[in-house]
Structure 1
């Protein structure tokens, strides 16, 4: 499976869909909880290194491209309705 495409705004939704807190998902990704929190808030850039680690985490929790595409569509729909992130 090649890398999945996502941006930092999707990460909290992804982990919540698997009932994972930041600590648990950070562990799956091989990064610290504080780093994950920074990425989720946008205060730490989603560099290629972190992107790869989060992609590894997505594979570990078996998050499919289909689920990611559905989440992206839902986010676009929510923005159109004026719900923000």
Structure 2
């Protein structure tokens, strides 16, 4: 993983899950192998239907490490989510 002055994984929230899945071209079923959580739970996390607790956050961070998601990719996702929010998109 590329190293920036700070660790981008510390600032992730549930909205990053879907974006990382799309970046790595993974279905919910495939992503459950990386996150160690049932695909139905991942779907509910992505949609904000259940709390993104510290346990789920750690599992997501581990999935990012296993998928070699770089800090630059996480920064890009943050920018994308900020732009969507500013434009009123979900």
**Who is 2:57 aligned against?**
51
1:26 Cα deviation (Å)?
1.4
Describe the superposition over 1:25-46 as per-residue Cα deviations: whole angstroms up to 9, x where unpaired. Answer: 1110111111111111111111
Secondary structure at the counterpart of residue 69 of structure 2: coil
User: How far apart are the structure 1 equivalents of 2:32 and 2:85?
Assistant: 27
**Who is 2:35 aligned against?**
29
For structure 1, which runs of at least 5 residues remain unmatched after alignment? none
4+ residue runs of structure 1 moved beyond 2 angstroms?
78-82
TM-score using structure 2 length: 0.83
**Who is 1:40 aligned against?**
46
User: How far apart are the structure 2 equivalents of 1:65 and 1:58?
Assistant: 10
**Would the aligned equivalents of 1:3 and 1:55 in 2 still touch at CA under 8 Å?**
no
**Would the aligned equivalents of 1:11 and 1:40 in 2 still touch at CA under 8 Å?**
yes
TM-score using structure 1 length: 0.87
Between the two structures, name the one with larger relative contact order (CA 8 Å, sep ≥ 6): 2
- Give the number of aligned pairs: 84
